[in-house]
Amino acid sequence: MPTVVLSAYDVANKPEVGGHFWVYMQYALGLQRLGCDVYWIEWFTRRGEPRDAEAIATFLSRTARFGLGGKVILLTAPEKHAPMRACSFAGMPAAEAEAVIGAADLMLNFHYKVDPEFLARFRRTALVDIDPGLLQHWMHHGQIAIGDHDLWFTTGENVGRPGSLIPAAGKHWERIRPCVSVEHWPVALDASAAPMTTVSSWHGGEWVKGDQGFYENNKSASFLAYHELPKRVNQPLELALSYHAENDREELDVMRRGGWLIRHSFEVAGSPEAYQAYVQRSRAEFSCAKPSCARLQGAWISDRTLCYLASGKPVVVEDTGPSGYLPSGEGMFRFSTPEEAAAAIAAVNADYERHCRAARALAEEHFDAAKVAARLLEVGLA
């Protein structure tokens, strides 16, 4: 039974972001299904009591519910990306944590800026890229420095391929698919469910620097192009957003005038359980992608979208490039214009239960966490 350490990023520090917890837990659950002894490690930025103690307790309680009781290592420090030698240990005593690190067969690293000294403590390391396109862009342009790894995995189907807009950045990328634990995301068919929804950030102040200058890379820029879509369809559309009430008010007012329903994500998806319930009460997902995903054409698909699919919810999502396995027209619809989006929504509602069944089938066939974990182990332990 291999021992695998999963190095996550910024989950414990954000207990109110329920969906972020699921991103990494899906991989842990897939590895557990294959019989792996799984440990979770991450950096926790101390900000002052009592908030720190409460956040840590919440995180340890949540991970324990998924079989990780006593198997979490939190490296606490006053700042992000602190070297391991400057950290204290929480969740597990230092000596026990050091023993786990030394004995691990494989470390799967989702934390791009992890301490290189920390990486060197493992016998075998693999970076897992869940931001395909942007990560390679940053690496290619020298905008991010990443420590050396034995292996490089990416969820980007088109990364580094001939004719791709995404460079390999000097690495050999093993391709995997993003995953969802279909056992933990059961079908929740409800033909009476009203709104199509999604959960997202709104404006993170993100810009991308490329060969032709800068462009904005926030979800706000993508959704605003579809601000009048609700007027084109006979279907409630709702966004559960992480937003700033004052700074984002004008843009969100534009969306509301277009007919969008806006809720704050902390209110409806502020824990892993609430996030799951919100997804499973939805009729389907409608979502745009960040501008970089559409521009770079990496065939990216969101981990959130996989949760909708596994729940038997059809998805209508922005096209992010040619794909060998992402369909359009059966359980999943991919759009590039408001006209295509409106047509896709109408098609979902015209034969709703068929598309619900097709959505679940897609999750089981292509994104089952156990299948993805098997690929990680096959390559990672070779």
CATH of the domain at 347: 3.40.50.2000
Provide the residue-wise pLDDT of the chain in tens; the chain has 382 residues. 899 999 999 999 999 999 999 999 999 999 999 999 999 999 999 988 788 999 999 999 999 999 999 999 999 988 877 888 888 999 999 999 999 999 999 999 999 988 889 999 999 999 999 989 999 999 998 989 999 999 999 999 999 899 999 999 999 999 999 999 999 999 999 989 889 999 999 987 778 886 667 888 999 999 999 999 999 999 999 999 999 999 999 999 999 999 999 999 999 999 999 999 999 999 999 999 999 999 999 999 999 999 999 999 999 999 999 999 999 999 999 999 999 999 999 999 999 999 999 999 999 999 999 999 999 999 999 9
Same domain, 155 and 233: no
* 186 in any annotated domain: no
Query: Within 10 Å of residue 337's Cβ, how many Cβ atoms?
Result: 12
Sheet containing 174-175: give its strands across: 88-90, 72-77, 37-45, 3-7, 106-109, 125-129, 151-154, 174-175
Residue 173 belongs to domain with CATH number: 3.40.50
Same domain, 348 and 374: no
* 189 in any annotated domain: no
pLDDT score for 81: 77
* 185 in any annotated domain: no
* 202 in any annotated domain: yes
Indicate the helix (H) or strand (E) that contains 361: helix 352-366
Q: For residues 203 and 77, give the distance between their C-alpha atoms in angstroms, rounded to a whole number.
A: 27
Q: Domain of 315?
A: 196-366
Q: Which residues are registered as beta bridge partners of 215?
A: 208
Same domain, 164 and 31: yes
Same domain, 51 and 14: yes
Same domain, 374 and 323: no
Same domain, 98 and 207: no
Q: What Å distances lie between residue 144 and 29, 51, 135, 136, CA to CA?
A: 30, 31, 8, 9
Same domain, 111 and 169: yes
* 187 in any annotated domain: no
Give the CA-trace dihedral at 169, 317, 201, 133, to 10 degrees: 0
Same domain, 92 and 108: yes
pLDDT score for 167: 93
Query: For residue 196, what are its two tokens?
Result: 């199509």
* 91 in any annotated domain: yes
* 87 in any annotated domain: yes
Q: Which amino acid belongs to residue 211?
A: D
Q: For residues 4 and 2, give the distance between their C-alpha atoms in angstroms, rounded to a whole number.
A: 6
3-state SS assignment for residue 377: helix
Same domain, 207 and 159: no
Same domain, 360 and 342: yes
- The number of residues making up the chain comes to 382
* 268 in any annotated domain: yes
Cβ–Cβ under 8 Å, residues 239 and 260: yes
Same domain, 204 and 231: yes
Same domain, 15 and 78: yes
User: Is this model's pTM higher than 0.95 or not?
Assistant: yes
Report the domain count for the chain.
2
pLDDT score for 212: 62
Cβ–Cβ under 8 Å, residues 230 and 237: yes
Spatial CB neighbours of 324, under 8 Å, sequence gap ≥ 6:
157
Any long-range contacts for 259-267 (C-beta under 8 Å, 24+ apart)?
A: 259/228, 259/229, 259/230, 259/231, 260/227, 260/230, 261/195, 261/236, 261/237, 262/238, 263/238, 263/239, 264/240, 265/17, 265/19, 265/199, 265/200, 265/240, 265/241, 266/16, 266/17, 266/242
